[in-house]
Amino acid sequence: MKPKLVIVGAAGRMGRRIIALAQEAKKFEMAGAVEMPSHPEVGKDAGGIKIVSEFPQAADVVIEFALAQASERTVEFCVAKNAALVMGTTGLNAEQKSKVEAAAKQIPVIYGTNMSVGMNILFSLVGKAAEMLGDQYDIEIVEKHHRFKKDSPSGSALTLAEKICEATGKNIKNSLVFGRHGSMEREKGTIGIHAIRAGDITGEHDVIFSTLGETVTLSHSAHSRDNFAHGALQAAQWLVGKGPGLYTMADVLGIK
């Protein structure tokens, strides 16, 4: 039998692409396309399945790309139905993240700020690069997204910073500088993060390592949302049947 799949955030750009690609792949039974009760698209078609405000009676796996405030309802449903959860929602606060982590003690969960294969390779590389290049190289992260993105900086930019800090022993709370203005000299050892919101940019991330005499840049550009959607579906298929735990896309892709 095919796993029963529920999409939360079904009316959004990502939700609609996941639905379309899931139906095209034919590896899941579409069990539900869920949105917040107040969403104007509730009751409308999302490519062969109606968008509803309530969760179905049963699910094997749930994929969520929604606003952060939807996360608690999704987590509660997954725990109650013993359904695996793939969460791509970004901008979660500390309390919301703690509830995801608590749920992972009862069900299998993947919480990823970015589901693309290429971006997860970049996550793996940036820490190694920072460690090899050392403190003489200034580090700046520049991320670009479409004008509709709600959170900034992006979850992926923060993950890049986390990977760098983990590899170099930096304290992330004291290391990040968000944008710059006014008159100030760059503080050694900090990581600058800059968010650009314009047009319909799908997603671009540049990690710049620069010292006197040279610059090394590691970059990822998303050409469309399909790579995120394919990654989420790959994660959902991998997660079904796993034991409780908080997994990552690195686990899905076998990245060490």
pLDDT tens, 165-182?
999 999 999 999 999 888
pLDDT of residue 255: 84
194 is catalytic: no
Whether the predicted pLDDT of 183 surpasses 80: no
Whether the predicted pLDDT of 225 surpasses 90: no
Q: What kind of architecture, by CATH, is found in domain 117-221?
A: 2-Layer Sandwich (3.30)
For residues 189 and 256, which has the higher predicted lDDT (pLDDT)?
Answer: 189
pLDDT tens digits, one per residue of 72-93: 999 999 999 999 999 998 888 9
pLDDT tens digits, one per residue of 82-141: 999 999 988 889 999 999 999 999 999 999 878 888 999 999 999 999 999 999 999 999
What does the DSSP 8-state code read for residue 70? G
pLDDT of residue 113: 77
149 is catalytic: yes
Whether the predicted pLDDT of 256 surpasses 80: no
Rounded to an integer, the average pLDDT of 142-147 is 96
- Rg value, the chain, Cα: 19
pLDDT of residue 47: 86
- The catalytic position among 4, 145, 163, 194 is 145
Superfamily of domain 4-115+225-253 in CATH is NAD(P)-binding Rossmann-like Domain (3.40.50.720)
Structure tokens at 122: 């970049």
Could you tell me the pLDDT band of residue 145, with boundaries at 50, 70 and 90? very high
- The catalytic position among 27, 81, 99, 149 is 149
The DSSP secondary structure of 139-160, one letter per residue, reads: EEEEEEE-TT--SSS-HHHHHH
Domain boundaries, the chain: 4-115+225-253, 117-221
For residues 183 and 69, which has the higher predicted lDDT (pLDDT)?
Answer: 69
CB within 8 A of 208, min separation 6: which ones?
138, 139, 140, 141, 142, 215, 216, 217
pLDDT tens digits, one per residue of 8-56: 999 998 999 999 999 999 999 999 999 999 999 999 999 889 999 999 9
User: C-alpha angle with apex 72: 68 to 73, nearest 5 degrees?
Assistant: 110
Q: Are strands 204-211 and 214-221 parallel, antiparallel or unpaired?
A: antiparallel
